[in-house]
Amino acid sequence: MTSIFGESYEGRKAHLIFDGVVMYFPKALAAVAAVSVEGNNQHNPGEPLHWARGKSMDQRNTALRHMIDHAAGASFDNDGCWHLAKAAWRILAWLELEIEADAAKGLARDDEPIKPIASGGMSSHPSATERDLHEQAGKSIPGITDPSLQGQCTADAVQSSFDGIHANTQRHIGTLQRFAQILAELDTLA
């Protein structure tokens, strides 16, 4: 297996994990790391820190439950960890498992580096991903081997799907916010 950052100098330099993640969110990542330790103490007492993947596997529902607890006004869980840190841990676990599952299905090769996300304004030059999407507009995306998907999996179709996902996410966030308001109103009645 090659590095998830690629073997080329440009590939390795395109993933600014320290500058673009750790330095953006140092307190949040420290809180997520605390969740890892607390989870290890709960699920693997006395063992070195590791992710016991066969235990407590419901990432989506557990993440949502922690987000709802936070939205309802409970910042911390019973063990003292932030509910949002627990939700973030679950979402990271879900993403890691999805990337691995896609690689196992051949949708993403485990030996290919993960492509960097669009630059987001950090550079005046388009990222490799932005250039790829522009060049691929209307063309089939390489790697799609299912004949029933040929012609449907274009960069335009993928962008349209992402746009739809974004709209649905915004709608769900609104629903969660309204749900939190209802919970808060019910709490005042109690």
Query: pLDDT tens, 72-96?
Result: 999 999 999 999 999 999 999 999 9
Which of 1-10, 70-79, 121-130 has the least mean pLDDT?
Answer: 121-130
Average pLDDT estimate for 103-121: 58
Confidence of residue 184 (pLDDT cuts 50, 70, 90): confident
Judge whether residue 148 has pLDDT over 60.
no
* Token reading at 99: 């990337």
Give the DSSP H or E segment for 132. helix 128-136
Structural domain spans, the chain: 1-116, 124-190
Tell me what the mean pLDDT of segment 19-23 comes to: 89
Residue type for position 4: I
- Whole-model pTM: value is 0.56
Residues listed for the chain: 190
Say which residue the tokens 């993440």 belong to.
Answer: 63
Calculated CA dihedral for residues 45, 48, 52, 55, nearest 10 degrees? 0
